[in-house]
A and B are shown apart, each in its own frame.
Chain A
Amino acid sequence: MHRKPDVVERARQGEQAAFRQLVEENEGLVRSTVKGMLGDTAEADDVAQEVFIRFFRALEDFREESQVGTYLSRIAINLSINELKRRQRRNRWLSVLRKEDSQAIEDDSMNPGRKDMQDLLRKALQRLDPDFRAVVVLRLIDGYSVKETAGILGLPQGTVASRLARGQQKLREILEKWL
């Protein structure tokens, strides 16, 4: 995730090809972050695209002391948390009309295949509180260090370490029989 000041400058000057290059180079990172936070849902890609739209609008103010990747990750986490709050409000209405989806982790096979395991893992992630989920996603899916994760979330490193530990512990408890 190294800096590309030339590409950013060209994108800032309105060169579409340059901005497209930024999208293509960072698509994986952004989609991983958003899917980690929201699950593998249809709206996840909409939110991921919106991350780049927000980045485009903020290009004028983007200071290149921050790397593009970490800047995008910050937007991705914020938009994902907004979407989770919207989802919560929507579910409050819908729960009057239907039984709530318990998001149970159900898999009777003792040896789920790789794709099934990924599905189980994504469902387990959704069981974490968003604040803990964000730390787990940035540190363990996106590969940021504890320090970088703290910088992205605006938290002390101790808080990040503590949430990471509790998040992993909770995931291990949920997935114990498959690990």
Chain B
Amino acid sequence: MKKETINELLLRSFDQELTGDEKARLEDALAGSEALRREKAQLEALRQMLGGLQAAPAAGFADGVMGKLNASPVEATLLSMLPRAAAACLIVLLLTLIGIYLAEGSLSTEAIIGVNDLAPEDAYTYLEY
């Protein structure tokens, strides 16, 4: 019997009823193979651990749901748009900085606020106005 077939039988045995013949084949294979017994034990341990992953109640979860339900439609819409708005602002900022770097060759404070190309007398001129 090919190991793959016994392996499939072993996996199936946890969740489906095997026929009499299938059970006998699996038991014979388990009796004759330590590797297969180890695999079975590992699968049993894995299934037990998965069963232990159930989430414990979280403080404030129900309050959060009821709060969202009771939020006004406008509030709910604005809240849902917040992440996208933040992402859009970040992209604009990034593009602006890239533009400044390409134009000025630097991201210094002077380059960002646009006084890189100003001479001191220009400031005096602006002050006059």
Tell which of A27, A28, A56, A117 touches B69, judged by Cβ atoms closer than 8 Å: A56
Q: Could you give, for residues 88-132 of chain A, a 1 whenever the CB lies within 8 Å of some chain B CB and a 0 otherwise?
A: 000000000000000000000000000001100110000000000
Which A residue sits closest to B11, measured CB to CB? A165
What is the interface of chain A mostly: helix, strand, loop, or mixed?
helix
Binds B, one of A2-10, A62-70, A138-146: A138-146
Interface residues of B in 1-54 (CB under 8 A from A): 7-8, 11-12, 14-16, 39, 42-43, 45-47, 49-54
Which B residues are closer than 8 A to A by beta carbons?
7-8, 11-12, 14-16, 39, 42-43, 45-47, 49-58, 61-62, 64-66, 68-69
Quick check: B53 and A118 within 8 Å, CB to CB? Answer: yes
In the complex, A172 has a CB within 8 A of chain B: yes
Quick check: A49 and B46 within 8 Å, CB to CB? Answer: no
Which A residue sits closest to B38, measured CB to CB? A179
Tell which of A31, A139, A146, A172 touches B61, judged by Cβ atoms closer than 8 Å: A31
**Interface size, chain A (Cβ < 8 Å):** 38
Quick check: A23 and B62 within 8 Å, CB to CB? Answer: yes
Tell which of A35, A49, A179 touches B45, judged by Cβ atoms closer than 8 Å: A179
Q: List 21 A-B contacts (CB under 8 A).
A: A19-B69, A23-B61, A27-B57, A27-B58, A28-B54, A28-B55, A28-B57, A31-B55, A53-B69, A118-B49, A121-B50, A139-B15, A140-B50, A141-B51, A142-B54, A146-B16, A164-B11, A168-B43, A169-B11, A171-B46, A179-B45
Quick check: A23 and B45 within 8 Å, CB to CB? Answer: no
Residues on A with C-beta less than 8 A from B43 are 168, 172
Quick check: A27 and B45 within 8 Å, CB to CB? Answer: no
Q: A49-B68, A121-B49, A140-B51 are in contact. Are A27 and B61 (CB under 8 A)?
A: yes
Tell which of B8, B15, B16, B61 touches A48, judged by Cβ atoms closer than 8 Å: B61
Quick check: A52 and B65 within 8 Å, CB to CB? Answer: yes
In the complex, A16 has a CB within 8 A of chain B: yes
**How far is the CB of A161 from the nearest CB of chain B, in Å?**
6
**Which 7 residue pairs spanning A and B have beta carbons closest together?**
A165-B11, A31-B55, A140-B50, A179-B42, A32-B55, A32-B54, A52-B65
Q: Could you give, for residues 152-166 of chain A, a 1 whenever the CB lies within 8 Å of some chain B CB and a 0 otherwise?
A: 000000000100110
Q: Which has the most chain A C-beta neighbours within 10 Å: B11, B53, B55, B64? A: B55
Which A residue sits closest to B94, measured CB to CB? A97
Tell which of B12, B56, B68, B69 touches A161, judged by Cβ atoms closer than 8 Å: B12
Quick check: A35 and B55 within 8 Å, CB to CB? Answer: yes
Residues on B with C-beta less than 8 A from A122 are 53
**How far is the CB of B44 from the nearest CB of chain A, in Å?**
9
Residues on A with C-beta less than 8 A from B58 are 27, 31, 45
Residues on B with C-beta less than 8 A from A28 are 54-57
**How far is the CB of A13 from the nearest CB of chain B, in Å?**
15
